[in-house]
Chain A
Amino acid sequence: MSTVTSSVSETSGGAGTAEILIFEHSKRGRRGYQLPALDVPEQNLDDLLPHALRRDTIEGEVEVSEVDVIRHFTRLSKLNVSIDAGLYPLGSCTMKHNPRINEEIARTWGFALSHPMQPDHQVQGNLELLWNLEQTLKEIFGLPRVTLQPVAGAHGELTGILLIHKALAKTGNARKYILIPDSAHGTNPASAAFAGYEVKELKSNSRGTVDRSTLAEAVTEDVAALMITVPNTLGVFENEIKSFAEILHAKGAYLYCDGANLNSFVGIARPGDMGIDVIHSNLHKTFSTPHGGGGPGAGPVGVSETLVPFLPTPTVEKSEDGHYYLDFNHPDSIGRMRAFHGNFGVLVRALTYMRSMGPDGLRRIAQLAVLNANYIRARLRGAYHLPYDAPSLHEVVFSDKNQTSRDVHTLDIAKRLMDYGFHPPTIYFPLIVSGALMIEPTESEPKEELDAFCDAMLAIARESEERPELVRSAPHTTPVRRLDEARAARNPVLRWKSGG
């Protein structure tokens, strides 16, 4: 199994040319833009806008040509790695293939030029699309309603916890605590806090999951909800999820599911059938909308029947005569989560993807994502330490325990992977694993790519034994090498200044 890969060069140092800042390209008199000549009679500026309300210039702004701009951004782009260039196994982020038909459809003029303040009758196409997306997500979640307003996973979390708060408040007591396992994403406790709750952390057991007894003990009359990721951040399915729901429901509390890992069970099992009351889904993960270097995303939220009256306004409805309309009449609604209708362009892409996949295709996503992750797990176990040996689904979490004796740590392994042409996995998360390397390949990867990645990981394991210094000083072939991050934080330089 240990295919040998020859060592990647360690001496090249700083491949790729550094690109100067756009501001440093600026040269007086250049321009990158032309407007039609003003075709209305020009009025005296002072009559339109008193001088005190105006600025004379934008100090420091650039003067560059279109050629300068295109070259600059093309050169910048070459300093990035991306999913189109190869495996990008960032655990929890579901970096899958981004089909280009989605891009084309989102750019259709009828969608792209539609305006958020238009009356319903002018945007029937948009409303029909949103209605169809909600129907599709309802079926995927097995839940009766879905709001499409949240624009990111964390925004969906905030929405979901606000819904729970409002529903409980309606019964007279919003309660005090949200329970969150110690393996959770950082957004979970942050969202709970911004929704007005205190967080109580639940300890994971030796499988990395939550024990029924731990939960039962923690669920008091003060607990509003359990916020749990299924499968959890180790990729392990919480197989007692249904009884978690029963424990919570018996005490009048809710079960919130962070749907970041939906890619592992879409079409195989449905949150609604597990007793889950609220789930958000990151459409930029499971449903293929491009991550764009950190967004935009979308985080629709599905809810069980008792939470429906509290959904954000407006909702999209279909009348009996086939007309679509926005319904603002929800007196118990938590309110609006954002101006307008969410990240519509992202929603268009996601529905395009769902239609491209169809029922069998969505199921196959989960099957192949889980197969790919387990293949990596099988090939790398032994060389890398597996801190939790429970069967995992779409991602696998190793640690650096086998390498630390050679003073090689997770960060070093991650950086060395870059020399082999791969983006590193998510590192040092989940927090319950010391030196975690969290690998999520997704269904997009062909076996050859998985093998190349595994070969690289095995080569690094060998290098850690034989030439640890090589690994510790990686990367060697990237546009820049390891950065002085402490300096960036100690004396923050957060903008360019002329002459600085």
Chain B
Amino acid sequence: MTNLPDPLTSVHRYIPNASEDVKEMLAVIGIDSVDRLFDTIPADVKLDRLLNIDGPWSEIESRRWFRALAAKNKTAADHASFLGGGAYQHYQPACIDQLLLRAEFLTAYTPYQPEVSQGTLQSIFEYQTHQTMLTGLDVANASLYDGSTALCEAVLLAERLVKKKHRVVVARSLHPQYVETLRTYVQNLGIEVVEVGWTADGRIDTVALREACNDDVFAVAIQSPNFLGVIEDYDAISAATGNITKIAVIAEATSLGILAPPGQHGFDICVGEGQAWGIPTSFGGPYVGFMVVRDALKRHMPGRLVGETVDVDGKRAYVLTLATREQHIRRGKATSNICTNQALFALAANMYLSLLGKAGLREVATQCLQKTAYLRKKLGEIGSVNLPYSGPVYNEFVVRTRHNAKELLADLEHEKILGGIPIDTNDFLVCVTELHTREQLDHYAAALNAAIARERR
């Protein structure tokens, strides 16, 4: 191995021990070279060369290369963005990221040792409390990966509650990538996913839903606002599905600031994506999945739970609890395989929800609702624009024209507008949040009008 660098002489800024330390440590261990430490790795699997990868780079070089890459993207940084579809642009108050960067949060791990992890534990307890208040349900866990995998965990939880039922009914208006993920998760578990479509108002077809809910169905999952932006009627869905376990999926979490909580309308489980609570869209992650359930389901819950207790002096304190559900105890019989979750973003959500509080959450939701209604009205006034779904919306809606949606959106891109997400040949999804100004909304309507006019020629 003469062509390989000598561990005694090489040095790196992230690795403190240098030549002298290495020599002293080898002496204590009683060997003469670092290579000897790797004698148990057979020679025929050892690499006799260095890896063929780039680096080592200084911070200056890294910054240069990565910033050049970032500059190749067209984003909300330099365009007016109207993109939603499961990832929403909301304002994250400046203090949140500053607080998240505190090393005590950022560089700690899972609070297995409660005496030295009360900061993380108490924050999770607070996060759990926010989730229960927002959803109207009783018990929330410490977080799941994201909205799509939270749906999977909810379906698996519901399946454990009953014996010998094999079918889950999902709304076709559930985020298509969530349903794809669900199909991946259940492919070997003997669970069939049945989809139910929507009616002219963009809401789930409750007649078809009632028919789909036969004796083999163990759960129903719907999303509200759904992928078309339309708000579902929880009571109508509850009425159509009898005593089957009902799962509400929330992909736009700020909507809970104004929409009726699913727990008060017959739903047993609420799962969703907490990204909308001010977490950057960041090309899809990291976000934070949440799950909240009725009290009776708490021992079936996947993931970590934090509970309140006292220490030997009687002081209030927090600790991971009901761990017998989890993989490190139950192994193959656990309620989920999840270990690492999205703790830092559960903390970010706790900070966001605390900072906005009762009034702020309502106000963000109200502004989303009002501004969306404003743009929707304006677009509706364009002759060749059709708003195909009549149901109430929160901050997203479908626009239909006679033209190809992708081509129209490409045209808007020339105006520095990321105008929507194509969801069918002629349909695209437009999203408005509290970040948009009236000027941007007016500009959008005018630009779309002009783009349609150009397409006509």
Contacts and interface: CB of A to CB of B under 8 A. Distances in A.
B57 A165 contact: no
Interface stretch (B32-40, B162-170, B239-247): B32-40
A379 interface: yes
Chain A contact patch, size range: 35 or more
Given A114-B73, A269-B46, A485 B260 contact: no
A10 to B, nearest CB: 14
Contacts of B4: 363
A443 to B, nearest CB: 5
Contacts of B140: 494-495
Interface in A61-112: 61-64, 66, 69-70, 72-74, 76-85, 88, 90, 93, 95, 97-99, 101, 103-112
Contacts of A104: 63
Interface string A286-318: 001011111111000000000000001000000
Given A79-B122, A418-B116, A488-B321, A109 B70 contact: yes
A60 interface: yes
Interface string B84-119: 011101000101010101111111111111111111
B66 A53 contact: no
Nearest to B50: A359
Contacts of A434: none
B444 interface: no
Contacts of B117: 79-81, 293
Interface in B332-368: 332-334, 336-345, 347, 350-351, 353-364, 366-367
Given A69-B95, A76-B123, A101-B63, A358 B53 contact: yes
Contacts of B50: 267, 359-360, 363
Contacts of A136: 53-54
A322 B256 CA distance: 44
Contact of A199 (B113, B120, B332): B332
B147 interface: yes
B143 A375 contact: no
B73 A14 contact: no
Nearest to A194: B337
B99 A99 contact: no
Contacts of A99: 14
Contacts of B328: 185-187, 429
Interface string B53-68: 1111101011101111
A340 B177 contact: yes
A51 to B, nearest CB: 9
Given A117-B421, A239-B41, A273-B47, A186 B334 contact: yes
Interface in B371-390: 371, 373-374
Interface string B278-296: 0011111110000000000
B319 interface: yes
B211 interface: no
B351 to A, nearest CB: 6
B283 A415 contact: no
A481 B115 contact: yes
B207 interface: no
Contacts of A79: 104, 116-119, 122
Nearest to A296: B286
Contacts of A83: 103, 107-108
Contacts of B196: none
Given A162-B188, A341-B285, A114 B75 contact: yes
Contact of B231 (A49, A90, A188, A339): A49
A391 B40 contact: yes
Most chain B CB neighbours (cut-off 10 Å) among A62, A363, A487:
A62
Interface string A187-208: 1111111111111000000000
A487 to B, nearest CB: 5
Contacts of A348: 66
Interface string B9-39: 0101011110001101110111000100111
A361 B357 CA distance: 47
B178 interface: yes
Contacts of B434: 35
B270 interface: no
A268 B46 contact: yes
B322 A492 contact: yes
Contact of B55 (A166, A237, A357): A357
Contact of A295 (B184, B231, B305, B341): B341
Most chain B CB neighbours (cut-off 10 Å) among A61, A90, A267, A269:
A61
B147 A49 contact: no
B306 A356 contact: no
Given A53-B231, A479-B118, A190 B73 contact: no
Contact of A187 (B59, B184, B323, B327): B327
A293 B110 contact: yes
A452 interface: no
Contacts of B369: 45, 48-49
A117 B85 contact: yes
Contacts of B56: 355-358, 360-361
B181 interface: yes
B110 A294 contact: yes
B149 interface: yes
B83 interface: yes
B83 A117 contact: yes
B370 interface: yes
B392 A80 contact: no
A241 interface: yes
A128 B99 CA distance: 31
A475 interface: yes
Interface in A375-396: 375, 377-379, 390-391, 393
A216 interface: no
Nearest to A373: B37
A63 to B, nearest CB: 5
A446 B51 CA distance: 26
B304 interface: yes
B192 interface: no
A447 B231 contact: no
A364 B69 contact: no
A339 B284 contact: yes
A409 interface: no
A361 B55 contact: yes
Given A35-B364, A109-B70, A296 B344 contact: yes
B128 to A, nearest CB: 5
A23 B129 contact: yes
Contacts of B364: 35
A290 B110 CA distance: 12
Given A110-B73, A294-B340, A40 B374 contact: yes
Contacts of A488: 307-309, 319, 321
Contact of B122 (A21, A125, A341, A446): A21
Contact of A355 (B55, B102, B256): B55
Contact of B309 (A189, A269, A345, A487): A487
B53 to A, nearest CB: 5
Nearest to B360: A33
Contact of B438 (A30, A40, A268, A363): A40
Contacts of B139: 494-495
15 contacts: A21-B126, A66-B95, A108-B66, A113-B77, A122-B73, A269-B41, A294-B304, A336-B177, A355-B65, A364-B15, A367-B37, A379-B28, A443-B15, A482-B312, A495-B125
Given A61-B130, A109-B75, 18 more contacts: A30-B357, A38-B366, A45-B366, A63-B359, A81-B108, A81-B117, A82-B103, A109-B70, A110-B69, A114-B283, A151-B285, A194-B336, A267-B50, A294-B120, A344-B282, A378-B29, A446-B21, A485-B321
Closest 4 CB pairs between A and B?
Answer: A340-B284, A196-B188, A110-B70, A358-B55
